[in-house]
Amino acid sequence: MTCEKDKMIAGALYQLGDPQLVRDRARNQELQRRYNATIVSDQDLRTTVLDEWLGSRGTGCALRTPFYADYGYNIHLGDNVFFNYGCVVLDVCEVHIGDMAQIGPYVQILTADHPRDAASRDAGLEFGRAISIGRNVWIGGGALILPGVQIADDAIIGAGAVVTRDVAQGVTVAGNPARPLVPQASSH
C-alpha cells in the first residue's frame, strides 16, 4: 500500500491530513451539500448526485435528507435500501448494506476508529474497520453501529442500541451494549 487512501480503505493506520484525502473530503462535502439541498420531488437530481457520490447503489434506494458521510465512495447499497432523516455514515472503510435494509432516523454507522496508544494519535494516525449489514435488516432510530461490526440478514437492531459485536441472522438485539433479546414465553 503506497498511498494513504489505500491504507485507509484497507483498515491500516493512515494519515488523516494526507492531501489526497483532504481533497476527497472536500469533494464529499460538495456532493453532500448538493444532495442535502434537495427534496423528495427532486428525484432526477438526487439520482445524479447519488451516482456521483456513492461507491455503488442498487435500484429503489431512498436516502432522506440530511444524510452525512466522510467520503461517500466507500458506501455500497443494495436494492431498495432506505435511510431515514439525519443518518451518518463514517465510511473510511467500506460499508456494504444489503437489499431491503431499513435504517431509522439518526442512525450512525461508524467505520472510523482511533489508535489506543497516545503516541499514534499524537502522530495524526487513524484507522477503520469495514461494516457489513445484511439483507432485510431493520435498524431502529438512534442506533450506533461501531467499527468492524457484521450484521447478518433479517436481524433487527433496537432503537438506541450500541452495536459493538456481530449480530447473527434473524437475531434481535437492543441496549448498550447491544445484546440479543430473549423471547418471552407465552402465558396461555
CA distance readout (Å), 51 to 9, 46, 77, 144, 167: 20, 8, 11, 26, 30
CA–CA distance, 111 with 116 (Å, rounded to integer): 15
Kindly report the number of other CB atoms within 10 A of residue 34's CB atom.
15
- Is 114 one of the catalytic residues? yes
CA distance readout (Å), 64 to 26, 128, 171, 184: 21, 26, 26, 35
Only one residue has cell 503516541, namely 119
Phi-psi region of 41 (alpha: psi -120 to 50; beta: other; left: phi over 0): alpha
Using DSSP, state whether 167 is helix, strand or coil. Answer: strand
Q: Which of 76, 96, 114, 188 is catalytic?
A: 114
What are the catalytic residues?
114
